Structure 1
């Protein structure tokens, strides 16, 4: 059998040419063996008991000798048959391309151009990763801002509610009310401090 792998032909046909030749070889031997057995049986039936000197074992020896002769002749010719078929019928011309390789014929490129494309793809992939990470960070910040905005809106609604209650109770503007509360709290703090000071003096007496 041929030692050439014929990889491109294997891709094109879907099987290795050497495998096809091996199957042809095995099929011929199988059919030759079958023919010898049929011929042997036919000779035995034809001769029958008319020729007692010709025994089944003698016919078998003759069949085996003829089979061996035919096998040797076939094997001597098969090498030539294989070489011819592999070189002509099962060998692709140089201008035949697989469908997936035809694009290279339309758009040829050098190894340097291919490397440049690979580098450009790498740069674009890295840029995409950076932009994706930045987008995720912006999305997280936006979610945080939404939470803060909702909290502020809640606080504003609370202040609006206090202002409304203050106006209904005749307290006037909420801002003025807070200023008055601040002043009162300051006065109360001063009173508490004065009380604490006097308590300390009494404890020392």
Structure 2
């Protein structure tokens, strides 16, 4: 991973994470959690000792139960006080450790980043090659899409051509049958038939309109 410059102190410190093998922020969080756990365990022991000493050996009595409740309340307040104070100190300690201890100097490089420093031109050529490959891939995808569109259009044209050939065959067969029966010129007769069909369609349309109006 390449070294990142001019990052704020609140950054993830990715280069430091790669260098140390752990996240500095995670390390600090574990330290804080360990302190909280230790503080909780110590205060429990202190609470038991205080109750035992103040009860003067009178175990199980009402005075001991009252002392235990009072000790638990004092213990809770003490824990809250110590956690607030430690949190303030921890923020200062965290800033100091992250900036002074868990940081990698600018002159330190990881082994995998050393070739980038020794051969920067290779890195630039590699980046340029990656850019060229990306452009070629986009051009190839565009050509594939264009080819698919042309193939789809060609299939449609083949289907239309097939339908036209079928119509032409039907007309030729009709013309042959017409001539065989001796019905005169086929083209003139066909034109007359089409005119008759158009007239019939118009008459049928008028009849349907009149029928609807009468209802």
TM-score scaled by length of structure 2? 0.49
Give the unaligned 5+ runs of structure 2: 1-8, 134-215
Greater shift, 50-59 or 32-41, is seen at: 50-59
Counterparts of 1:59 and 1:94, CA distance in 2:
53
1:34-64 Cα distance to aligned partner (Å, 9 max, x none): 1110111111122233795961111111111
CA distance in 1, matches of 2:70, 2:102: 44
Who is 1:36 aligned against? Answer: 43
Q: Which residue of 2 aligns with 1:75?
A: 87
Match of 2:201 in 1: none
d(CA) in 1 for partners of 2:106, 2:118: 16
1:101-180 alignment, distance < 5 Å: 101-109=113-121, 112-115=124-127
Listed one character per residue, the Cα deviations across residues 161-192 of structure 1 (whole Å, up to 9, x for unaligned) are: xxxxxxxxxxxxxxxxxxxxxxxxxxxxxxxx
Q: Which runs of 5+ in 1 are unaligned?
A: 122-205
- Secondary structure at the aligned position of 1:93 is classed as coil
Contact 2:16 2:103 in 1 (8 A): yes
Q: What is the CA distance between 1:118 and its match in structure 2?
A: 5.9
Q: Aligned to 1:91, what secondary structure does the other structure show?
A: coil
Do residues 58 (structure 1) and 70 (structure 2) align? yes
**Which residue of 2 is the match for residue 134 of structure 1?**
none
Alignment RMSD (CA, Å): 2.9
Q: Number of aligned pairs?
A: 121
